[in-house]
Amino acid sequence: MKYDCDVIQDLLPLYQDKICSDKSRAIIEEHISECVVCQKMAVQMGDNTVEEKLIKEKNNVIQEHQKLVNRKTTTIGMTMAGILMIPVLVCLICNLAIGHALDWFFIVLTAMMLAASLIVVPFITAAKRLMWVIVTATVSLVLLLLTCCIYTHGRWFFVASSGSVLGISVFFAPFVIAPLSRETKLQRHRAALTVLWDTIWLYLLLAACGVYIHGDVRYWYMAMTISTYIVVLVWIYVLIIDYGKRNGQIKAGILVALSGIWFGAANDVLNFFLAPVGEADGHGLGGLDLSRGFWADDITVLNANWLFVIIVVSVCVGGLMICSGIVKEKREHEIEK
Ligand SMILES: [Zn+2]
């Protein structure tokens, strides 16, 4: 034999992975056709069923462990649910015993549902735990409010429930919408979907309040005008941040300038729209008089001067950010070329 077995065996891995040169290949093939020891080794190396078996075994162990953990948490969840059922059962028995006079049974039931959604649901859901906790807790809270409202003969249900759902949504809607949008391939639009959901509940709350206080035309007009002024800005944020095609610096610059203008002009724009119903307060930019400084005793002048400063500063800062963003974009284009 021309070559030493050690040399051939060192080359075998390269041969198996088909990354050695044709010359080496020829040498190795010639050697293993004559040498039994190296031939055996080559066959063994080519046979990766052992490795596959090991991987299978490992996956089986992991799966079994996961099953065991799932079974355990489900048991804990079921036990907790059982414990929570005790007061419900006691109340149900009392309720039946005194001939259905206990309307508050349903308050206990829905209160227990709320508790269960917070401490049982995390244990019995296999995936998307946070999402299920938020959804079930919100539904239980609304049901609890409904039963309390019926029990006290109140008419505040819609105000309380729409307010609660809006409050919860502002903080937690992203945690529900993110996993749902991932499944429905709407992930790209999850921010818009979240803001849409919040917008709907804001207007539902305004409507509920209007009905509750028997609001007249002035209430509806004012509530819708003032809220819409703010909602429009929020939507512009979503559209620019999520759908704008320029770089982050330009987008941020636009938003800084726009926010300053939006805030500074708020009084004037709202005064314009609210004047027909006699709700304009006159504290807009109209009283601008910079010669009287920023400590004037006339509130109209003071207000206008400060609003002016806010607009100027935000437009300048935003403008600088936009300029530096454009410069950055140009430089990146040049580098690409
Ligand atoms: Zn050999």
User: What would the pLDDT profile of 119-168 be if each residue is shown by its tens digit?
Assistant: 888 887 777 888 999 999 999 999 999 989 988 888 899 999 999 999 99
For residue range 256-308, list pLDDT tens digits in order.
Answer: 999 999 999 998 999 888 888 877 777 788 888 888 878 777 888 888 899 99
CA of 43 to the centre of ligand 1 (A): 13
Q: How far apart are CA 251 and CA 242, in angstroms?
A: 10
CA of 45 to the centre of ligand 1 (A): 15
Q: For residue 75, name the pLDDT band (cuts at 50, 70, 90).
A: confident
Instruction: Read off the amino acid at residue 172.
Output: F
pLDDT above 90: percentage of residues in the chain: 39
CA of 36 to the centre of ligand 1 (A): 7
Q: Residues 6 or more apart from 17 whose CB is under 8 A from it?
A: none
For residue range 35-45, list pLDDT tens digits in order.
Answer: 898 888 888 88
CA of 39 to the centre of ligand 1 (A): 7
CA of 51 to the centre of ligand 1 (A): 25
CA of 19 to the centre of ligand 1 (A): 20
CA of 325 to the centre of ligand 1 (A): 66
Q: For residue 48, name the pLDDT band (cuts at 50, 70, 90).
A: low
CA of 5 to the centre of ligand 1 (A): 4
Could you state, in order of their start, the residue ranges of all structural domains in the chain? 1-47, 246-337
Q: How far apart are CA 206 and CA 163, in angstroms?
A: 9
Q: How far apart are CA 231 and CA 202, in angstroms?
A: 9
Cα four-point dihedral sign 85, 168, 186, 202: positive
Q: How far is CA 248 from CA 44, 174, 324, in A?
A: 56, 22, 11
Q: How far apart are CA 263 and CA 303, in angstroms?
A: 12
CA of 41 to the centre of ligand 1 (A): 9
CA of 334 to the centre of ligand 1 (A): 59
CA 154, distance to chain mean position in Å, is: 34
- Are the C-beta atoms of residues 144 and 110 closer than 8 Å to each other? yes
CA of 125 to the centre of ligand 1 (A): 59
CA of 1 to the centre of ligand 1 (A): 8
| DSSP reduced 3-state for 208 | helix
Q: For 280, which DSSP code?
A: -
Q: What is the mean pLDDT of residues 65-89?
A: 83
Q: For residue 170, name the pLDDT band (cuts at 50, 70, 90).
A: very high
Q: How far is CA 332 from CA 118, 320, 321, 322, in A?
A: 50, 18, 16, 15
CA of 14 to the centre of ligand 1 (A): 16
- Are the C-beta atoms of residues 185 and 136 closer than 8 Å to each other? no
Q: How far apart are CA 254 and CA 260, in angstroms?
A: 10
Q: How far apart are CA 134 and CA 61, in angstroms?
A: 33
CA of 46 to the centre of ligand 1 (A): 16
Q: What is the mean pLDDT of residues 51-56?
A: 81
For residue range 6-23, list pLDDT tens digits in order.
Answer: 999 898 888 888 888 999
CA of 4 to the centre of ligand 1 (A): 7
For residue range 79-130, list pLDDT tens digits in order.
Answer: 888 887 888 788 778 777 777 666 677 888 888 888 888 888 888 777 788 8
CA of 50 to the centre of ligand 1 (A): 23
Q: What is the pLDDT of residue 235?
A: 96
Q: What is the pLDDT of residue 100?
A: 65
For residue range 171-219, list pLDDT tens digits in order.
Answer: 999 999 988 888 888 888 889 999 999 999 999 999 999 999 998 888 8
Residues with Cβ–ion distance below 5 A, ligand 1: 5, 35, 38
CA of 48 to the centre of ligand 1 (A): 21
The pTM assigned to this predicted structure is 0.71
Q: How far is CA 41 from CA 5, 31, 262, in A?
A: 11, 12, 77
